[in-house]
Amino acid sequence: MKSSVQSVFLSTLMLWLAFCLLLVTSACSQEQKEKVQDAAAGILPGKDLTTGPQPHVDTVYVEKYMAAKPAFKNEIEWGKKFYKERDGRLGWFKNHQLVPQTERMLTELSKAGENGLDPKKYKVVDFEQLFAQIKKAPDTTARNALEKEIDVALSATYFNWADDFYRGIVDPREVKNIDWKVKRNKIKLHKALMTILQERESTYPYYEFAPLHPEYDRLRKALAGYRAMQRNGGWLPVPAVKKALRPGDSSAVVPALRRRLLGFNPDGTPSPAVANAPMQAVPVSNKPGQPAATAPRESHQYDAELADAVKAFQQQTGLKADGRLTPETVTLLNVPLQRRIDQIIVNMERWRWIPKRFEPNYLLVNIPDYHMWVYENGKPALDMRVIVGKTLNATPVFSDKMEYVVVAPYWNVPYSIIDKELRNKLAADPHGTLDRLDMEVVKGSGAKATPVDPTSIDWANLTPNTWRYTLRRRPGPKNDLGDVKFLFPNSQDIYLHDTPHDELFSQAKRGFSHGCVRVEKPLVLAEYLLRNKPGWDMSKIQQTVAEGKEQYVTLPEKLPVYLVYFTAWVDDAGNLHFRDDIYGHDKALAQEYFST
């Protein structure tokens, strides 16, 4: 009697699960539904082969199976960890039946293209064939063998996809020409799979097969819109302009400009704005002696609506947003649609490299955007413009922790600048050059530094091995670091600092430094960072600057710093932004990403 009740219960449960499977697939194509139904038919009760203990797998079996398929070789360790942690129990079968997450995973893999991934890469195993085989299994032994194979195949397939989706297709640590030293995403894929199978809880959205960062998801939606735009014909080039077009001007360029900026909705569908474009009457040719005739044509008037669209485009591409159609604006308008799609995809890849979540409080500089934010409890507390390194002195991409604010700092001149810019001047006139530049040569550092006679140094024959001193500029108005610098000690000697050249912050493109990051409002940043440091309010900071005596102030708590490189993102208002690939990092990443 008990056995009969259990049998009825299991049959009812399996039918209910099958019904849920079909509901989940309601948004899929009819073809996908039929495949799921066929697979479900093979795993529902109806044979007496689904009784008895469920088979187990050991790590030897897992390694042998995954090693036999090249696509799975990099995921072997994840497979071994997964089954070892569960003592060999199958993950995708419960009481000899496939769990509902099977269909969910296979559906997600079929949509990999939405994430800029190649769905073909994850079709290593023919699951339809395996499901058909298990349906026709002649005995329990054969069925158990197929259960083991299917289970490991599903796990390996998940790891193959999840490694790309959560950790990235390209490993920046292994590619020399990709500059990315931000701390690594340390996601444990076997734990993620256990979350999907509802065997553990997690604060991360693994169960939903969702990305870890909302910024990634915004880019994914933007990618869908741009691909839809491509399917609907894309955009055509805007003719070049010799001089800037101002609102109110008339030009033959206007119709093409209108189609480019107003021709599509955000979702990539054609916009009625172009179909309903303003018309104007223009003369048409007539026979001699006949009165002039007119015919309608698309207006050439650069009106306010179009000027606003140009202004928005300029703002979203890092140009001066004045609404003037300049040659530079036209150049960016004519960036090919496919290149923008690729740009979105490589920036999605960078989000896979970012740690699973940022700390509550941190500082972030987006180098191509020339901008910095300070976050407190996950929300922006400060933001300001920055100046970054020139192309030849690129600001490196890395993360660290800020430890000190240095008020009234000395500027220690790098040897590279001594060698390239100052050597000859110092050799010709040591004292005069130092006095003019408000510099000094010292031995040692800090309070223990002692002056060195510059005439005792052979400047003409100086080498890195013979240079044993420090050339530094004194605190004051000539100091390249301005009134304050912010240190996060690192091997590349990169830091944030003030600058005496405030006029440079008015430029749209601000790549002027030797690699360090100059901040627009240094005293505001210093006051904020020292807000919990007793005795260090704005008055104290300004007093120390006026005295001109360098002082190191240790932060009450180290602040994580991220110097990152994103050339495409979607802001909180839903606007897609692009920036120039100022260091060529997009190009280097694209070569790796699209060749895998």
pLDDT in tens, 178-231: 999 999 999 999 999 999 999 999 999 999 999 999 999 999 999 999 999 999
Q: Is 497 a catalytic residue?
A: yes
pLDDT for position 301: 94
pLDDT of residue 6 exceeding 80: no
Residues in the chain: 596
Q: Write the single-letter amino acid at 7.
A: S
pLDDT for position 107: 96
pLDDT of residue 486 exceeding 70: yes
pLDDT for position 275: 54
Compute the CA torsion angle 237, 242, 245, 248 (nearest 10 deg): -110
Provide the CATH number for the domain formed by 358-409+477-565 in this structure.
2.40.440.10
pLDDT for position 266: 87
Please compute the mean of the pLDDT values over residues 236-265 and round it to a whole number.
95
Average pLDDT, the chain: 90
Quickly state the pLDDT bin for 278 (edges 50, 70, 90): low
> Looking at per-residue confidence, does 488 or 289 come out higher?
488
Beta strands at 551-564 and 517-519: parallel, antiparallel or unpaired: unpaired
Q: Which residue has the tokens 């004194």?
A: 474
Quickly state the pLDDT bin for 412 (edges 50, 70, 90): very high
pLDDT for position 11: 46
Give 548-583 pLDDT, tens digit per residue.
Answer: 999 999 999 999 999 999 999 999 999 999 999 999
pLDDT for position 272: 80
pLDDT for position 591: 96
pLDDT for position 280: 52
SS3 for 172?
A: coil
Q: Could you tell me the two tokens for 546?
A: 């006026």
pLDDT of residue 21 exceeding 70: no
Quickly state the pLDDT bin for 25 (edges 50, 70, 90): very low
C-alpha to C-alpha distance for 230 and 575, rounded to whole angstroms = 19
Quickly state the pLDDT bin for 594 (edges 50, 70, 90): very high
Please compute the mean of the pLDDT values over residues 521-537 and round it to a whole number.
97
pLDDT for position 37: 47
Give 345-355 pLDDT, tens digit per residue.
Answer: 999 999 999 99
Percent above pLDDT 70 for the chain: 87
Q: Is 20 a catalytic residue?
A: no
> Taking each helix axis from N to C terminus, what angle separates 59-67 and 76-85, rounded to the nearest 10 degrees?
160
CATH class of 238-281+294-333: mainly alpha
Percent above pLDDT 90 for the chain: 84
- pTM of the model as a whole: 0.87
pLDDT of residue 40 exceeding 50: no
pLDDT of residue 287 exceeding 60: no
Q: Tell me which of 190, 371, 516, 577 is the catalytic residue.
A: 516
In DSSP terms, 398 is beta-bridged to 181, 563
pLDDT of residue 511 exceeding 50: yes
Give 81-102 pLDDT, tens digit per residue.
Answer: 999 999 999 999 999 999 999 9
Please compute the mean of the pLDDT values over residues 49-58 and round it to a whole number.
85
Quickly state the pLDDT bin for 18 (edges 50, 70, 90): very low
The least confident of 62-76, 266-280, 293-307, 405-419 is 266-280
Q: Tell me which of 190, 497, 577, 585 is the catalytic residue.
A: 497
In DSSP terms, 382 is beta-bridged to 374
pLDDT for position 470: 96
Compute the CA torsion angle 577, 581, 587, 588 (nearest 10 deg): -120
Q: What is the Cα 475 distance to its own chain's centre? A: 38
pLDDT for position 448: 86
Which ranges in the chain are annotated with CATH 2.40.440.10?
358-409+477-565
pLDDT for position 47: 47
C-alpha to C-alpha distance for 465 and 468, rounded to whole angstroms = 8
Please compute the mean of the pLDDT values over residues 305-332 and round it to a whole number.
97
pLDDT of residue 286 exceeding 80: no
Please compute the mean of the pLDDT values over residues 152-180 and round it to a whole number.
96
Give 358-380 pLDDT, tens digit per residue.
Answer: 999 999 999 999 999 999 999 99
Which ranges in the chain are annotated with CATH 1.10.101.10?
238-281+294-333
Phi and psi angles of residue 265, each rounded to the nearest 5 degrees, phi first:
-80, 165
Quickly state the pLDDT bin for 294 (edges 50, 70, 90): very low
Give 127-146 pLDDT, tens digit per residue.
Answer: 999 999 999 999 999 999 99
